[in-house]
Amino acid sequence: MSNNRMDKTMTQTPSSLLPLSFVGVGNTALVAKVAGSEDFKQHLTSLGFVEGAQVAVVSAAGSGFIVEVKGSQLAIDNSVALKIKCQLV
Residue 7 pLDDT exceeds 80: no
CA angle at 85 for the pair 88 and 14, rounded to the nearest 5°: 90
Max CA separation in the chain (angstroms)? 42
> What residue segments make up the domains of the chain, in order of their start?
5-88
User: pLDDT for 18-63, tens place per residue?
Assistant: 999 999 999 999 999 999 999 999 999 999 999 999 999 999 998 9
- pLDDT given at position 15: 62
3-state SS string for 26-85: CCEEEEEEECCCHHHHHHHHHHCCCCCCEEEEEEEECCEEEEEECCEEEEEEHHHHCCEE
Rounded Cα gap, residues 9 and 86, in angstroms: 9
Q: Selecting from 2.30.30.90, 3.30.450.20, 3.30.360.10, 3.90.1310.10, what CATH number does the domain 5-88 have?
A: 2.30.30.90
Rounded Cα gap, residues 79 and 81, in angstroms: 6
Check if the beta carbon of residue 27 is closer than 8 Å to that of residue 57: yes
